[in-house]
Structure 1
Amino acid sequence: MKLMVNHQTHYSYSEAALNSIQYIKMMPFNNRHQNVKSWDISVPGEKQIKRDAFNNIWITSSQRYVYQQMTIMAQGIVELNLTPENGIDDQINPYLFMQPTPSTMCNAEMKEFAHRCVPVINHENLMYLATSVLEYIPYVPQSTNVNTTAIDAFQNRQGVCQDHSHVFIAMCKSLGLAARYVSGYLFVPNISHLASHAWTEVYLNNSWYCFDVSNQLFIPSSHIYVAVGRDYWDVAPVRGMREKGGIETMHSIVQVLAC
C-alpha cells in the first residue's frame, strides 16, 4: 500500500522575529515496515541533516534574517509492507527506554492501575491495559498540550494520542518493561485530514510490539514511522528558539492519502 503524506506547519508572529533555529524530525526512514519512495522537507534558511541518539533523522534549520511568517512543509510517498506484525527492530539497547522522563513519571495510583490490569506480563494482558487506559482516559481533541504529563492526563481523565502514549509508557515501565514513544502518521480510509499521530511500542520476548492506545490497533499495518524516543520531547516534529517575534501562532495541516 502506497501512501502520500502532505504535512504543512505555518507560523506567524505578532512582531518581527530573527536569528531563529528549528530542530525538525519530520522525515520517515526505511525499515521492514516501510519503504520511503520520495520525501522532501521545505524550510527557509540554511539546513543540515544529522542523526540523533535514537538514530532518527534530524534536520537543523536556521534563519538569520527578519521575518513574521514561516512555513515548514514535508511531503512524500511511503510504501507500507503489510506483512510484519511486530514493531520495528533496531540496534538500540531496549533498556535505554527505561530511563525516567518528566513526561512519563508514574504515581502510586497509576502503578496500582497497571498491576491490576497486568497481573501476569504477557501480550494479551498488555492489550487489556491499553483498552483500560482508553476507557479511563477518553480521547478528547485539544484537551491537553505538549506540556501535559502522564500524571496530569491520568488525573484529568482526558487526552489525545500523545497522552495515551505517555500514560501507557509510564505504566509499562512501572511493570519493568521497556516502552518507547513513536511519532508518525496513521492512514484511515475515507478520512483525508488527520493530525500527526503517536503510539507506543513495548519490548516483550525480544521483540517490539505496537500498542496504539487511541485507536486500539496492535499491528502497525496503517502506520508510517517517523521517529522513536522516550517521550514526545525526543521526537517532537519541530522544536526551536528565536529572538523577538512577540506572540507565536501555529497552524498545522496533515493529509494522508492512498495513492
Structure 2
Amino acid sequence: MTPHAIHDETHPAPIDPSGVDWARVRESEYLVHQRFQYEYPAQILDLQHQLMVIPPTVFGDQRRTVYSLRVSEAGEVTTTQDLLANTVIDVRIPSVERGIEFEAWVSLRRAGPPQPREVPVEWLTDARFLQPTDRTAPDAAIEEAAAILAAEGLVGLELAERINTWVHQTMKYVPDVTGIRTTAAHAFAAGHGVCQDYSHLMIAICRLLGLPALYVSGHLLGEGGTHSWVEVILPSPGDEDAAHAWALDPTHGRRVDLTYLTVAVGREYGDVAPTSGSYRAGHGGTLTGFKEVRLVGIEYD
C-alpha cells in the first residue's frame, strides 16, 4: 500500500484528543507520519542506515494494522526483529549524491482501558534490565537519591510510582541543553533535560533498587517530537509464574494512557534510536525531521 493511500483514503479527518472522554474509550485508532531528510554537501559512499520507527505488530493492547516505508534512493532494505521483538529496518546504499529521505506511515489501534503489558516472567531477573548501561550508570549522587527513596519503605508498584513522581518533581524540562549521548548522571547533576534524560534517570534508580526497567521510545499525542518513558517489570499479583510491565512517564509524572504509542523498547536510548547509521565521506550532513500523530478513530463503551 502506498503512503498516500494510508493517509488520504483509509482514514477520516483527525479527532481533537482534548475532546475525547478517554475513560470511556473501548478502542482508538491513530495515524503516524514521519519523515527524515539527510542532506550532504557532496557524495557519500557505503551508507548503512538503521531505522526503528515502525512499531511491532503487537505490543500489549496496541496493534499495528498497516504501514509503509519509502526510501528515496535505490538500495537494499531489510526488515528484521531484534531480541525484544522490535522492528528493525536496515538500509544499505552504495552511494548517495546529495541527500536521502525516509518516510514512514503507520496505522495503529489501541484497546482501552490501558493495562500493564504481560511479559516473560524471566524478565524479573534478566540482567539486561537490572544492570547499568552507558547512559544509565549511576554516580554517587544518584546512589544517594536511590538510598533516600528506598528508606521510605515502599515496594513494588508503589516504589516505581514514587520514583516516577520524584524524577518528575526533581528535574526541570529544558530542551536543547542535553543530547543523545547525555548520561543520567550528567542530567541529574545539571537538574534539567528532556524526556530521554528523565527516563534514563528513572531507569538508573529503579535498577539500583532492584526493579527491572526498560526504556520506551514512542509518541505522545500533542507533541512534535518522539517521546520516551519507562516500563517497570513487576511480579503479577497472585501468580508467581507471571510478570507485567507497568508503563510510567517521569516527564509528566503519570501512568501511560491511551494517548501514548509505543515504537520500541530497550535497555536505554542507544538500543532504540529512531534513526542512526554510518557512511564514508570527508564531510558531515544535516538532518531535518517531521512527525505528525493523528487520532483518527474512537469507539466508546
User: For residues 42 and 139 of structure 1, what CA distance do their matches in structure 2 show?
Assistant: 34
Shift of 1:219: 3.2
Partner SS for 1:14: coil
Question: What letter is aligned with 1:56?
Answer: N
Residues in 2 aligned to 1:38 and 1:132: alpha-carbon distance in whole angstroms: 38
User: 1:77 — aligned with what?
Assistant: 107
Shift of 1:8: 0.9
How far apart in 2 are the matches of 1:123 and 1:182?
Answer: 18
Matched residue type, 1:115: A
Percent of residue pairs identical: 29
Q: Distance in 1 between matches of 2:50 and 2:282?
A: 18
User: What residue is the counterpart of 1:255 in the other structure?
Assistant: 292
- Helix, strand or coil: the match of 1:54? coil
Question: C-alpha separation between the residues in 2 aligned to 1:179 and 1:201?
Answer: 6
Partner of 2:144, secondary structure, is helix
Q: Which residue of 2 aligns with 1:41?
A: 69
- Is 243-252 or 20-29 further displaced after alignment? 243-252
Structure 1 segments, 4+ long, off by >6 Å, are none
Provide the rounded CA distance (Å) in 1 between the counterparts of 2:220 and 2:168.
Answer: 18
1:139 alignment partner, one of 160, 169, 173? 173
| Equivalent residue letter for 2:143 | K
Query: Take 2:96 and 2:140, find their aligned partners in 1: how far apart are those partners?
Result: 49
Q: Which residue is 1:105 aligned to?
A: 137
> Is the contact between residue 16 and residue 246 of structure 1 (CA under 8 Å) also seen in structure 2?
no
Amino acid corresponding to residue 136 of structure 1 in structure 2:
T
Paired positions, count: 255
Alignment check: 8 A CA contact 2:160 2:232 kept: no
In structure 2, the CA distance between the partners of 1:241 and 1:235, relative to structure 1 (3 Å rule), is same
1:162 to 196, 220, 232: 196
Does residue 244 of the first structure (1) align with residue 274 of the second (2)?
no
> Contact 1:6/1:76 (CA < 8 Å) preserved in 2?
yes
Deviation at 1:194, TM superposition (A): 1.6
- Structure 2 residue ranges without an equivalent (≥5): 1-27, 236-242, 297-301
The one of 47, 65, 83 equivalent to 1:53 is 83
Larger deviation: 51-60 or 167-176? 51-60
- Which position in structure 1 is the counterpart of 2:15? none
Larger Rg: 2
Where structure 1 has 5 or more consecutive residues not aligned to the other structure, the ranges are none
1:117 aligned partner:
149
TM-score when scaled to structure 1? 0.92
Distance, in Å, in 1 between the alignment partners of 2:294 and 2:131 is 36
Tell me the alpha carbon deviations over residues 10-42 of structure 1, each in whole angstroms, 9 at most, x when there is no partner.
Answer: 111223212101111111111332111211122
Cα RMSD after superposing both structures: 1.7
The equivalent of 2:3 in structure 1 is none
